[in-house]
């Protein structure tokens, strides 16, 4: 599949620790630029940025630590705001899409809701509508769990509540 002609693309990835941000960034760029952990421990301790030339266009991916690990305390929220602010500095003209990574299966908890409110406060009330793409990771787990139930991803999405 080829990218359509156009300008450069800047992507900002946000999600909880262990939800596959670095792996997703590597997949998008087609090379191993971000460190990945096979455990649930965070491999990313600060924002990172990677570029690749794909079909004549420069794709920039900004990887963040567990920005969504807010735990509802002031220190965690301040750290998340710092990571988001620093990440935005990598895209001074703005980013084209905010990739919100969610690991399958994840429930919509208060922590996720707090994260969404934080993103709206920092990046603007309409950020989710205007720039957000939800990326579900760990698709292999989905297919293993849902194969016996003969459930498609679309069917599973339609049954979810709270998102």
Closest CA to 13 of 129, 118, 100, 115: 100
40: pLDDT strictly greater than 80 = no
pLDDT value at 52 more than 90: yes
How far is it, in rounded angstroms, from Cα 32 to Cα 38? 14
132 contacts 68 by C-beta, under 8 angstroms: no
pLDDT tens track for 102-123 = 888 877 777 777 778 888 888 8
The share of the chain scoring above pLDDT 70, in percent, equals 87
Beta-carbon contacts of 9 under 8 Å, excluding residues fewer than 6 positions away, are 57, 58, 59, 60, 96, 97
What domains does the chain contain, in order, with CATH numbers?
9-159 (3.40.50.300)
What is the arithmetic mean of pLDDT over 63-91? Answer: 74
Mean pLDDT value across residues 60-66: 87
% of the chain surpassing 90 pLDDT: 23
């Amino acid at each position: 599949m080829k990218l359509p002609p156009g300008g450069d693309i800047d992507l900002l990835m946000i999600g909880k620790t262990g939800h596959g941000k670095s792996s997703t960034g590597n997949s998008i760029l087609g090379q191993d630029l971000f460190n990945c952990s096979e455990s649930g421990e965070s491999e990313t301790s600060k924002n990172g940025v990677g570029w690749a030339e794909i079909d004549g266009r420069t794709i920039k991916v900004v990887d963040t630590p567990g920005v969504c690990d807010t735990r509802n305390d002031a220190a965690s929220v301040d750290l998340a705001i710092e990571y988001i602010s620093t990440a935005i500095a990598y895209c001074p003209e703005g980013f084209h899409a905010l990739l919100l990574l969610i690991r399958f299966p994840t429930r919509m908890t208060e922590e996720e809701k707090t994260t969404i409110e934080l993103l709206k406060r920092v990046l603007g009330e309409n950020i989710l509508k205007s720039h957000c793409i939800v990326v579900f990771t760990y698709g292999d787990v989905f297919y293993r769990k849902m194969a016996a139930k003969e459930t498609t991803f679309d069917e599973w999405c339609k049954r979810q509540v709270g998102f």
